[in-house]
Structure 1
Amino acid sequence: MDFTVEYTPTRDEVARALGQGVKRQLSALRVALPAILVLAGAACAAMGGIGLAAGMLAGAVAFPVALTWAINRAARRQLAYLCVPTTLRVTGDGYECRTDQYTTALNWSMFGNIVNTPEFWLFFIGKQCAAFLPRRAFDPDQQAALDAHFAARRSTGPSVT
């Protein structure tokens, strides 16, 4: 596998990729914190602390909204840096991403988890989403080659889902 493609990521595309990556990265927190707030709120209500209970229940409702807002805000700060004409060279060892502002080379071996979505391949180092490749940048044969490569890594190495 060795191919080069050129594309320009759109603002919406980058925001969706980063949002999906961070949501997967923070999935336990997204569930655990509201659950803890609901349980603590119920306990406070049972002990007569209605004001504190209401605050905790409101926090449980507001947290997912606030988290989504924070993720989108962080993504927007990176849009100018990421939404530029980009050249990707993909090989069996990894990929290189080149723009007028930067060049980044990443080996597949550094990613412990590669998540396939209908729109992206999301790359994780530990639990942190570190990079993504948009499927639309590749033709169907290249997409199939990447899917096969990641499937082969799944059977011999780190997790690819």
Structure 2
Amino acid sequence: MVDFTTTYEPTPDEVARALGQGVRQQLKIAYLVLPSVLIVSGLVCVLVDALYMGAVMLLVAVVFPLALTWSIRRTGRRRLTYLCVPTTLRLTDDGYEARSDHFTTTMQWSLFGRIVTGPEFWLFFVNKQFTGFLPRRALSGEQQAEFDDFLASRQNTRVA
């Protein structure tokens, strides 16, 4: 049974890393497929003597992931004042509640289509859309283990 409350304050670097990881998970196909298609198309253009078009496609294939990463960080920086505040979190078997001076969020575990457990964060997804994160450091080592076990049992139940 999961039922604990903790207070933490995400750091700006932590928020940037979590957003980067979450959005990369969400846009994994775009990160892989679009540059790959551009590289192949660019090479084909070069082979058929459309050098300018080929060079542009190859350049865009290199710049696209960098531009997307920059865009994610920029979006994250805009949200820092909203996210980098003392937050009280309550995790239960039913869901979680996060409270700060700026927001209150309550979510049922059943709403999440996927929860990615990583070494630094739990990343939450609703309909393949990255919706939030929880830094592992917000919980004690014992609570982290209990929460990981809880998530694993929920996933096994969902599969069965």
TM-score norm. by structure 1 comes to 0.95
- Counterparts of 1:78-157 in structure 2 under 5 Å? 78-157=79-158
- The CA distance in 2 between the partners of 1:34 and 1:7, in whole Å, is 38
DSSP 3-state at the match of 2:14: helix
Q: Percent identity?
A: 54
Deviation at 1:141, TM superposition (A): 1.1
Name 1:70's counterpart in structure 2. Answer: 71
2:115 maps to amino acid: I
Please list every run of 5 or more consecutive structure 1 residues that lacks an aligned counterpart in the other structure: none
CA distance in 2, matches of 1:102, 1:58: 42
**Residue by residue, what CA displacement relative to the aligned partner does 1:1-40 show, whole Å, maximum 9, x if unpaired?**
2111011110001111111000011011001111111111
Alignment RMSD, CA only? Answer: 0.9
After TM superposition, where is structure 1 displaced by more than 4 Å over at least 4 residues in a row? none
Displacement of 1:74 in angstroms is: 1.0
Deviation string, structure 1 residues 72-131 (Cα, Å, up to 9, x no partner): 111111111000011001101111000011111011110011100000100111211111
1:36 aligns with 2:43: no
Count of aligned pairs between the two proteins:
158
Q: What TM-score do the two structures reach when normalised by structure 2?
A: 0.96
Q: Distance in 2 between matches of 1:34 and 1:53?
A: 13
Q: Which runs of 5+ in 2 are unaligned?
A: none
SS of 2:124's equivalent in the other structure is strand
